[in-house]
Amino acid sequence: MTATVQYDEIEVGHEIPATDYGVRRLNLVMYAGASGDFNQIHWNERFAKAVGLPDVIAHGMYTMAQGGRFVTDWVGDPGAVVDFGVRFSSMVVVPDDDEGATITVSGVVEEKLPDKRVVVALTAKAGDARVLSKARAVVQLA
């Protein structure tokens, strides 16, 4: 496997620049189909509101996947992610318009581990809300 980030060149505190990921209703429909999660809160506004939500919300796993994408794009190899965990701390509300919502992900190298592994702490926001907390990925570097 070929991570493109060299362990020896990364120090604790290294910041990975923020990236924006859009999420529109179409993305949620595609994600529902691909993942098999057809919970109506992710595509049916009428149902979402009936169960007390402000509107349709993104699958937590869609948001987590954007965090994963952020890490794999940084490290250069999807196979380099050896551990990835998050808590879903706030909902991503996705309005039915052309803009949808934006998830902004940034990261910082929090710890260097043995065997050329590092811990990346992620921050993911939608507007002012932190949508992931305790988001950590252990990544195998080169």
Nearer to another protein, 6 or 35 (CB): 35
Nearer to another protein, 74 or 125 (CB): 74
Radius of gyration of the chain, Cα coordinates, nearest whole angstrom: 16
What are the angstrom distances between the C-alpha of 101 and each of 20, 53, 86, 97, 106?
10, 16, 20, 9, 17
Q: What is the dihedral of CA 30, 127, 91, 95, to 10 degrees?
A: -50
Q: Is 129 in the site for another protein (CB under 8 A)?
A: no
Q: Is 66 in the site for another protein (CB under 8 A)?
A: yes
Segment near another protein (CB under 8 A); pick from 10-18, 69-77, 114-122, 123-131: 69-77
Report, in Å, the least distance between residue 85 CB and another protein: 3
> How does strand 15-23 pair with strand 101-113?
antiparallel
Binding mask 75-114 for another protein (x = CB under 8 A): --xxx-xxxxxxxx--x-----------------------
State the SS3 of 27-60.
HHHHHHHHHCCCCHHHCCHHHHHHCCCCCCECCH
* Residues forming the site for another protein (CB under 8 A): 1-2, 21-22, 27, 30-31, 33-37, 39-41, 47, 51-52, 57, 59-62, 64-66, 68-69, 71-73, 77-79, 81-88, 91, 134, 137
